[in-house]
Amino acid sequence: MAKHSHYQGFEKHYVAIDSIIFGFDEGKLKLLLIKRKFEPHKDNYSLMGGFVRENEGIDDAAYRILEDLTGLKTIYLEQLQTYGEVKRDSEARVISIAYYALINIADYDEELGQKHGAVWFPIDELPPLIFDHNEMVSKAMKRLKRKTVIEPIGFELLPEKFTLPQLQKLYEAIHQHPLDKRNFRKKILSMKVLSMLDEKDKSSSKRGAFLYMFDKEKYDYLISNGDYFELV
């Protein structure tokens, strides 16, 4: 803001938050959507949203709204883009700041979600959404694809302990194409940011796959050496 003292005389606006909430389940990337219980657009789906309050920062508002829906406080949340066309919301002029969140579906509070009419949709089977929400989703997908390559945020979508086949399926789901198993393992392991546990997960095979954890300290060490995380 360049202007001086008196802001009076300028119009004020409703400012909202809309959240694109990603989860990963059954080998698929999913979004948490809300079925609207009221007109207009009753029974249509929308992103979870809410208004920014007077004494609340916008990030705080985004966390609050997310917690209302999922019960989760510590979540990966990042601002995406602000949408401010005059007619974007058919009710009134609302400027909406879109955020995207990555959550581990297992931690999500199913009961709380149901109160809001929340439903998980696979990313490739999304219904039409109200207003410009589809546009927000496609922007979020692009961002997620880019970010997961250069920053270790994909792990936010997995349980703390995960197997390499799981991690690979996650990356395949995000990037929407298959990856070579050997190359994938070689690359992620060569970065040395995972710790292998001596436990196996046998839920998806008889032999079982070793469990790993993302190791933040190792990651920080990597970065402090001037190296980069890069996957896919």
Partner DNA sequence: TCAAAAGTGTTCAGCGTACACCCATGT
Partner DNA sequence: ACATGGGTGTACGCTGAACACTTTTGA
**Contact positions toward DNA, by CB under 7 A?**
163-165, 180-183, 185-187, 200, 202, 204-210, 230
User: Are 129 and 196 within 8 A, CB to CB?
Assistant: no
For residue 53, state whether it binds a second copy (rule: CB under 8 A). yes
How is residue 48 written in tokens?
């979870």
Contacting a second copy (CB under 8 A), which of 63, 131, 214, 219? 131
β-partners of residue 121 are 31
Q: Which stretch binds a second copy (CB under 8 A): 52-60, 151-159, 176-184, 215-223?
A: 52-60
Angle value at C-alpha 185, between 181 and 190, nearest 5 degrees: 155
Residue 188 binds which entry of DNA, a second copy, none, with Cβ cut-offs from 5 to 8 Å by kind?
A: none
The residue with tokens 């995207």 is 100
**Strand order, beta sheet including 118-122:** 45-46, 28-35, 118-122
How is residue 130 written in tokens?
């109200």
Residue 55 binds which entry of DNA, a second copy, none, with Cβ cut-offs from 5 to 8 Å by kind?
A: a second copy
- Among candidate residues 70, 65, 71, 54, the one with its CA nearest the CA of residue 15: 54
Contacting a second copy (CB under 8 A), which of 50, 71, 122, 165? 50
Q: Which residue, 13 or 181, is less far from DNA as judged by CB?
A: 181
How is residue 214 written in tokens?
């993302």
Residue 59 binds which entry of DNA, a second copy, none, with Cβ cut-offs from 5 to 8 Å by kind?
A: a second copy
For residue 34, state whether it binds a second copy (rule: CB under 8 A). yes
For residue 84, state whether it binds a second copy (rule: CB under 8 A). yes
Residue 15 binds which entry of a second copy, DNA, none, with Cβ cut-offs from 5 to 8 Å by kind?
A: a second copy
Residue 192 to residue 143: CA distance in whole angstroms = 25
User: Are 63 and 71 within 8 A, CB to CB?
Assistant: no
Q: Which stretch binds a second copy (CB under 8 A): 84-92, 181-189, 202-210, 224-232?
A: 84-92
Compute CA 82 distance to the chain's CA centroid, rounded to the nearest angstrom: 16
Residue 206 binds which entry of DNA, a second copy, none, with Cβ cut-offs from 5 to 8 Å by kind?
A: DNA
Single-letter amino acid, residue 64: R
Taking phi first (over 0 means left), then psi (-120 to 50 degrees means alpha), and beta for anything else, what does residue 45 get? beta
Residue 205 binds which entry of a second copy, DNA, none, with Cβ cut-offs from 5 to 8 Å by kind?
A: DNA
Residues in touch with a second copy (CB under 8 A):
1-5, 7, 10-16, 18, 34, 36-40, 46-59, 61, 79, 81-86, 89, 91-97, 116, 131
